[in-house]
Amino acid sequence: MSIHEALGLTDAEYERICELLVREPNHLELAMYAVMWSEHCSYKSSRRHLARLPTEAPWVLVGPGENAGVIDVGDGIAVAVRIESHNHPSAIEPYQGAATGVGGILRDIFTMGARPIALADPLRVGPLNEPRSNWIAEGIVSGISGYGNSVGVPTVAGEFVSCETYRDNPLVNVAALGIMPTERLVLGRATDVGGSAVLMGASTGRDGIGGVSVLASAGFEEADDDATKRPSVQVGDPFEEKRLIEACLELLEARLVSGIQDLGGAGLTCAASETASRGGTGMEVDVTAVPLRQHGMEPFEIMTSESQERMLAIVAPAHVDQVLEICARWEVNATVVGRVTGDGMLRVRDGADGEILAEVPASTLHDDAPSYDRPQCPPAEREVRRGVDPAARPVAGSPQVADPGDCAADLLAMLADPSWVYRQYDHQLFLNTVVGPGHDATLLRLRDPRDGTPTGRGLGISVDGNHRWCDADPRRGTAMVVVEAALNLACVGADPLALVNCLNFGNPTHPEVMWQLSEAIDGMSEACDALGIPVVGGNVSLYNETNGINICPTPVVCMVGVHPDLVRRPIAAAVAPGTELVVLAPTGLAGQADDGDDAVARQPVPLGGSRWAWERRHCRDGALPQLHLAASVATAQFVAGAVRDNLVHFAHDVSDGGIALAIAEMCCHGGTGVQARVPSLGASAPAARALFAEPPGRVLAAVEVHDVDRLASAASAAGVECRRLGSFGGSRVQIGRLAEPGLDIDLALDETLARWSGALPESFAQPVDGTAA
C-alpha cells in the first residue's frame, strides 16, 4: 500500500494534491492533506447536500461553518449552540471517547466567546443485557459524568436508546449551549498580519494521531482491530479544560485576542489553516516551539496530534505578554508557536527561522478539499417492505397468525425511567434548571450573561432522533424527528428558534446510504421550513458500519427555543388524581374513526417504524404513518400557548411506544393511576394499532376538570382536535379503546411504577459472564 492510501487518500485525491502544489508533497504535507481532506473535516460526501438546508433567519448571528451557530434571543443575549459526534472513539474506548467528546464541544462554544451553560447527550447503544453493550453503555455514561461534572457544565438533556443496529457502533452525540452578550461574539479568524499564534493548554502528545482519518472516516471490520486503533483515541483531562475555559473567557472579555480556535480533529494543522484561510491570511508554525509530552515526536505527529484541551489564539504582538500573564494565573501553559503572514501559505518550520518542513497554500486544505456527488439509490426491496403490516405478524412462539398478544406485557416491556442515566450527570449547576432531564424538553432560566440577572424568560432545549422512523422512510422520518423536537419544546411552553443537526449514517460509498442521507436532508428542510426555523450548524458522521452492515440512518437534532415567562411553566405534580387526560392532535387522530367518520376509518394508521413493531414483533417493515406538517406545527403552537396560559398544567408528546406508553409515563411522573379510552386509528383495528402506533403530531395534556371546555373551544378555534380520553386517579393503569367495551390494558399502578423505575437498573445489574451474544 502506498503512503497516501495508508493515510486514507485515494489515488485521484493524491493527484489533485500534486496539481495544487505543482509538485509531489512530502510526507508531512501529505499527512496534513490526509487529515484535512478526511470525511470528518471536509464533509466531502455530504457538503453538496447540506447546502439544501435552510440556514437563514433574522435572529441568526452565525450560521453553519463556524465553530458554533449563534442566535440572538433578545435582551442583548446571544446563544451559541453546537452538536458533534464521538461515535467511533466511543466504540473503541467508551469512557475516553465520550469524555473527550464533551471536552471538544465545550471548546467550540467558548471559542465563540460564550460561557458554556449546558450539555445534552443523545446516546444510542446496543441491546442491554449483553455484557459488551452494557460495558459500552456504562463506559459512555461514566465518561460524560466524569468529564462533564468535573469541568463544571451541567448535562441537562439527552436520550438513551438501545437497539441492535448500534451493537458494535454506538452513537455518542453531544450538544452544548453557551450564552454571551451579543457584542462579545468572536470568530475563529486570523486577520492581523504579524499577529502571534499562541498555543494554550495541554502539551502535545502522540494520542489521537490521525483520529479523524483512521477512526472517524472508516468503518470497523473485525473486533480485533479495535486494539490497534485504540492509540488513535484521545485522553481527556477535565481539570485542564476547566482552567482553559476560565482563561479563554478572561482573554476574550479583555479583548486581548483577535481570533481563537480550538484544536480538535486534525489538531494544529486544522486550527492553523482554518484561522488563516478564514482570515484570508497565511501562517507560519515553528514545530520546535510546541510544548511536547513525549520525546522524539516527528513533525507530522506534532502537526496532526489530537491531544485534548488545546486552543490557538491570535494575539497582536503588543498583547502577548499580557496574554501569557493571564494564562499563568489560571495555570494554563501558553507558548507563541507561530505568526500570521500575508502570503496565504501555511508554512511549518524547524525553528523560528529554520528549515521549511512543509509549505502549502492554507486555503487548499479547506476550499480545495474534494466534494463528491456519490451515487444514490433507494433500497431495492423498499416497496415490498412498505406493504407489510406488522400487526399481521405472529407473536414469537405463538402458533396463531395475528395473535393480538398481551398488550399489557408489551407496554411494560417498553417502559423505562431514564433517571439511571441522568442522575449520574450534574444537571443542576448554575441554578438554571427549571425543567430537567426526564421530561419532553429541558427548560433553563435565561439570565443575562453580564451580571446574572434573570430575564424572566426561559431557554428550551430538546434533543431527538428516531432510527426506526428514518429506516422506514428517511425523508418523512427525519421530518417527524424535527416535528417531535418542536412538540417537545411546546410541552414546556417554548417556541422553537433554531436547530443544529448530527447526521449519523453508514458508509457513503453505498448508494443506499447516500440516498438515505440526501432524503433525510430534504425531510429536515421541509420540516424546518414549516416551522420557520433555520439550521445553524451541524455535524456529519459517516462510516457507521460494522463488517459491511450500516447502522440505521440516525439524524439527531438539538432544537433550541424560548419561553417568554417562566412563571407559567409545566409542573409534573399536576398529573394527579382528579385531573383530566386530554389529547390534542391534528385532524383525524383524535378519534374521528370512532365517531363514524368513514373516510378516516378506511385508512388505518400503519404501524411501520413503530417501536412496538420493532421490539415486540421483531418486524422492521411496514409503512410510516402520514405526516401532516402544517397541522402538526399548528398543534405545537397551540400546545405551547396552552401551557403558557395555564390551560394545560403538564403536557407530554406521544412518541415512540405510542399513546399507551405516553399515558403510562404520565402516570409514573404523577404517581397516579388512570382510566382512559384512546382513539382506534382505523375501523376494526387491532388493539395494538390504537395503543402503540406512532402517527406524529399528538400531545397528551393533564387538564383541570373546569378547564376542559375552555381548552376544547380554544383548540377548535386554532384548528386543533381536542378530545377528553379519561381521568387520572385510582391505583390501576387502565387503557381501552373509544369504540370497544373492554380494557386492553389493566395494570396495578405499583407494578407499573416498579417496572418503570427498575428497568434500566436491572438491565445493568445482570452478571457479566463474558459470553457476549
Partner 1 sequence: MSVTVGVVRFPGTNCDLDTLDALAELGARTVLLHSDETSLGSLDAVVIPGGFAHGDYLRTGAIARFSPIMDAVASFASAGGPIVGICNGFQVLTEAGLLPGALRPNAGLSFLCQPQQVVMASVNHVLGHGLSTSEVLHIPINHFEGNYVCDRLTLQRLREKGQVVMRYVGNPNGSLDDIAGICNEMGNVVGLMPHPERATSELLGSTDGCRLLEALLEAAASTRQVIDRRTA
Active site residues: 40, 86
- Binding letters toward partner 1, positions 237-256, x by CB under 8 A: xxx--xx-------------
Judged by CB under 8 A, the residue of 235, 292, 413, 434 near partner 1 is: 434
Q: Is 450 in the site for partner 1 (CB under 8 A)?
A: no
CB atoms within 10 A of CB 23: 10
The Cα–Cα gap between 666 and 177 comes to: 28
Let me know if 638 is exposed, middle or buried by CB neighbors in 10 A (0-12, 13-18, 19+): buried
Distance CA 16, CA 364 (A): 10
| Alpha-carbon distances of 239 from 33, 331, 512, 625, rounded to whole Å | 32, 11, 44, 48
Residues 6+ apart with CB under 8 A from 6: none
Smallest gap from Cβ 441 to partner 1, in A, equals 16
Quote the least distance from Cβ 237 to partner 1, whole Å. Answer: 8
Please tell me whether residue 427 binds partner 1 under the rule CB under 8 A. yes
Least distance in Å: CB of 309 to partner 1? 12
Beta bridge partners, 157, equal 120
Of 38, 96, 145, 518, the one binding partner 1 (CB under 8 A) is 145
Q: Which of 646, 640, 654, 637 is nearest to 718 (CA)?
A: 637
CA-based nearest residue to 469, from 323, 346, 627:
627
Least CB distance to partner 1 at residue 423 (A): 5
CB of 213 to partner 1, least distance (A): 31
DSSP three-state, residue 345:
strand
Cα(751)–Cα(674) distance, rounded to whole angstroms?
14
Site for partner 1 in 94-123 (CB under 8 A): none
CA–CA gap between residue 631 and residue 588 (Å, rounded):
11
Question: Residues 43, 160, 166, 422: which binds partner 1 (CB under 8 A)?
Answer: 422
687 φ, ψ to 5°?
A: -55, -40
Site for partner 1 contains 452 (CB under 8 A): yes
Nearest CA among 188, 61, 175, 186 for reference residue 113: 186
Q: Can you tell me which of 424, 587, 637, 646 binds partner 1, judged by CB under 8 A?
A: 424
CB nearer to partner 1: give 116 or 338. Answer: 116
Comparing C-alpha atoms, which of 539, 481, 447 is closest to residue 68?
Answer: 539
User: Cα(first)–Cα(last) distance of the chain, in Å?
Assistant: 35
The residue from 322, 428, 713, 766 that contacts partner 1 (CB under 8 A) is: 428
Residues 14, 15, 16, CA angle at the centre, nearest 5°?
Answer: 90
Among 618, 620, 661, 612, residue whose Cα is nearest residue 397: 618
- The count of chain residues that interact with partner 1, using the rule CB under 8 A, is 30
Return the C-alpha cell found at 170. 454506538
Backbone angles phi, psi at 654, to 5 degrees: -85, 115
Select from 41-49, 256-264, 416-424, 700-708 the region that touches partner 1 (CB under 8 A): 416-424
**Positions in 208-237 near partner 1 (CB under 8 A):** 237
Q: How many whole angstroms separate alpha carbon 496 and alpha carbon 513?
A: 30
Question: Judging by DSSP bridges, how do beta strands 115-125 and 171-181 pair with one another?
Answer: antiparallel
How many of the other CB atoms lie within 10 Å of CB of 297? 18
CA distances from 751 to 721, 732, 759, 761 (A): 33, 9, 12, 16
Cα–Cα distance measured from residue 386 to residue 400, given in angstroms and rounded to the nearest whole number: 23
In whole angstroms, give the CA distance from residue 248 to residue 190: 16
310 vs 569, beta carbon nearer partner 1? 569
What x-and-dash track marks residues 312-351 binding partner 1 by CB under 8 A? ------------------xx--------------------
Q: What is the DSSP letter of 628?
A: -
Q: By CB under 8 A, is residue 515 in contact with partner 1?
A: no
Among residues 341, 354, 287, the alpha carbon closest in space to that of 314 is found at: 341
User: 174 or 531: whose CB is closer to partner 1?
Assistant: 174
603 touching partner 1, by CB under 8 A: no
Buried b (16+ CB within 10 A) or exposed e, 178-204: bbbbbebbbbbbbbbeebbbbbbbbbb
542 binds partner 1 (CB under 8 A): no
Residue 96: in which H helix or E strand, if any? Answer: helix 94-110
**Residue 145 or 261: which CB sits closer to partner 1?**
145
Q: How far is the CB of 337 from partner 1 (least distance, A)?
A: 24
- Residue in 43, 59, 425, 756 binding partner 1, rule: CB under 8 A: 425
For the bound state, the minimum distance from the C-beta of residue 239 to partner 1, rounded and expressed in Å, comes to 3
Interface characters, 364-403, with partner 1 (x: CB under 8 A): ----------------------------------------
CB 666, min distance to partner 1, A: 19
The Cα–Cα gap between 423 and 115 comes to 23
The smaller minimum CB distance to partner 1, of residues 135 and 372, is found at: 135
Cβ proximity to partner 1, 330 vs 505, nearer residue:
330
Binding span for partner 1 by CB under 8 A among 13-21, 404-412, 430-438, 729-737: 430-438
CB of 429 to partner 1, least distance (A): 6
- Report the residue from 57, 292, 429, 718 that binds partner 1 according to the rule CB under 8 A: 429
152 counts as binding partner 1 under rule CB under 8 A = yes
Stretch that binds partner 1, among 60-68, 150-158, 210-218, 627-635 (CB under 8 A): 150-158
Stretch that binds partner 1, among 80-88, 316-324, 421-429, 538-546 (CB under 8 A): 421-429
Nearer to partner 1, 66 or 159 (CB): 159
Residue window 736-765: x/- pattern of binding to partner 1, with contact defined by CB under 8 A:
------------------------------
149 near partner 1, rule: CB under 8 A:
yes
537 in contact with partner 1 (CB under 8 A): no
Near partner 1 by CB under 8 A: residue from 389, 426, 495, 694: 426
Q: In the bound complex, what is the minimum distance in angstroms from residue 667's beta carbon to partner 1?
A: 19
Give me the residues paired with residue 339 across strands.
196, 284
From residue 154 to residue 193, what is the string marking binding to partner 1 with x (rule CB under 8 A)?
Answer: ----------------------------------------
Grid cell locating 772: 457476549
Q: Are 355 and 287 spatial neighbours (Cβ–Cβ below 8 Å)?
A: no
CB of 125 to partner 1, least distance (A): 17
CB of 571: closest distance to partner 1 in angstroms? 10
Which position among 134, 173, 433, 546 is part of the footprint of partner 1 (CB under 8 A)?
433
Element (H, E) at 143: helix 131-151
Which residues of this protein are in contact with partner 1, per CB under 8 A? 145-146, 149-152, 237-239, 242-243, 330-331, 419, 422-431, 433-434, 445, 452, 566, 569
